[in-house]
A and B are shown apart, each in its own frame.
Chain A
Amino acid sequence: MTTPVRMVSESTVPDAALLNDWHVVAFTKDVPAGKIIPATLLGEDLILWRDASGQVHAWKDLCIHRGARLSKGWIANDTVVCPYHGWRYDGSAKCVLVPAAPDQPPPLKARAFPHTAEERYGMVWVSLGEPKHAVPHFPEWDDGSFRKFNTGPYFFKANGFRSVENFIDATHFPFVHGGLNGLEDAPDKVEDYKVFEDESGISTSGIRVFQPYGDHRQVPVNATYTYRVFRPLVAYFSKQVEIADSERKHLGNPDDRFCTFLTAQPVDEVTCIIRLCVAINFGENLTEDDILRRQDKVFSQDKDIVETQRPERIPVDLRAEIHHRTDKFGLLYRKWLGSLGLTYGIA
């Protein structure tokens, strides 16, 4: 390490760039009407709940009256009930009942603290500030030829940026996912690829690798990954798969694609929750269980390695750690994070 790094105990406040961005904090299916779901984003504790009209809400986990946690409360008559004195807040965050004075209108100042929330791709997106960008566009979401599945959540005791960098790294497959996405005894030589940066993020040209069980059909494939990072904690790849075994090659199609849209919820600087939406346009016989089983396996292998990385926060000084030519995209990712002026989660 050529530069000093911050210890885990030395925390910092989240940067405006992260506060004014969208982050996934739950799957839609995990926020049913009638329940209060706690979540933590950038160190702030939140509650998520869905009103009777189906609208999702993300509020600070706090009752202004005496500072109790609303996450310990419950839903009644389409309102959030504080567990301490039973104050009730409706979908507009206004207190509509103080049970100790049921005949009076509650004080106007008695309000919950709402944040902006939206639902896309089966996920609940929240911004703690004023979002400066739209929720990133998942290219295959509107394409009916792709089946979509939400997988996760995967809880990583690891920095969100390190976790995203692992997702966009094509050279760890033979070792972290040996026998699955690569071969430890015959790791792929990764051919040179190009990297790009534009206003919608950073991306790569195709990166070709051999995968012995490269997809859920349990067949060897030559896979070409094209990566994109839309926002600091939202990334994606489109993987073109071609069956490598000549006897079974006819079972595949040159347009076969497996795409993954990944979000990392920054719980704090060194903890994140990964959620995915995967899109697949082949393997009609694959069940949701087949897809989930494989994703769970791959991400538990990633978790095991990413949780070991130190310093816990990602260094964006390019002279800290070593970047190989084959790490060009990870290197660009760090450079890009640095250019956004981030300090939260950064070594």
Chain B
Amino acid sequence: MAVVVTDKCRDCRYTECVTVCPVVCFHGDDRMLYIDPVSCILCQACIPVCPVQAIYDEVDLPPEMTRWVEINAERAAALPLIEDKQTPLKMMT
């Protein structure tokens, strides 16, 4: 099981999730974040704080988004940890 970030995060990358994560399991690039499924403890704290609802528990993932489980695992392994809040790429209204 996993909690995953989906493409709604792309070019938004608000990073509020990073400030509530108890285990530092977010990785990211210039455009979006990904969750490392090994270190994530499935607490779901990040899901309600995402302003664009980009984060899902795998069990609640709409069928057309299931590929994001694999994408998170792959990208998180290849990208640096994001421990602190970043400047969002898009202004929230």
Contacts and interface: CB of A to CB of B under 8 A. Distances in A.
Contacts of B21: 325
B24 to A, nearest CB: 9
A327 interface: yes
Nearest to A324: B22
Interface stretch (A35-43, A199-207, A260-268, A315-323): A315-323
B41 A319 contact: yes
Contacts of B20: 325
Contacts of A319: 41-42
A324 B42 CA distance: 11
Interface in A232-291: none
A323 B21 CA distance: 9
A297 to B, nearest CB: 31
B41 A325 contact: no
A328 B42 contact: no
Contacts of A323: 22-23, 41, 43
A331 B42 contact: no
A328 B41 contact: no
Interface residues of B, number: 9
A331 B23 contact: yes
Contacts of B22: 323-325, 327-328, 331
A318 B38 CA distance: 11
Contacts, number: 24
Nearest to A318: B41
A332 B64 CA distance: 36
B45 interface: yes
Nearest to A317: B41
A327 B41 CA distance: 13
Interface in B21-75: 21-23, 41-43, 45
Contacts of B41: 318-319, 323, 331
Contacts of B19: 192, 325
A322 B21 CA distance: 12
Contacts of A327: 22
B21 to A, nearest CB: 7
Contacts of A192: 19
A319 to B, nearest CB: 5
Interface string A309-347: 000000000110011110110010000000000000000
Nearest to B21: A325
A325 B85 CA distance: 14
Nearest to A320: B41
A324 B48 CA distance: 14
A318 B45 contact: no
Contacts of A2: 42
Closest 8 CB pairs of A and B: A318-B41, A323-B22, A325-B22, A319-B41, A325-B20, A319-B42, A322-B43, A331-B22
19 contacts: A192-B19, A318-B41, A319-B41, A319-B42, A322-B43, A323-B22, A323-B23, A323-B43, A324-B43, A324-B45, A325-B19, A325-B20, A325-B21, A325-B22, A325-B45, A327-B22, A328-B22, A331-B22, A331-B23
Interface of B: 19-23, 41-43, 45
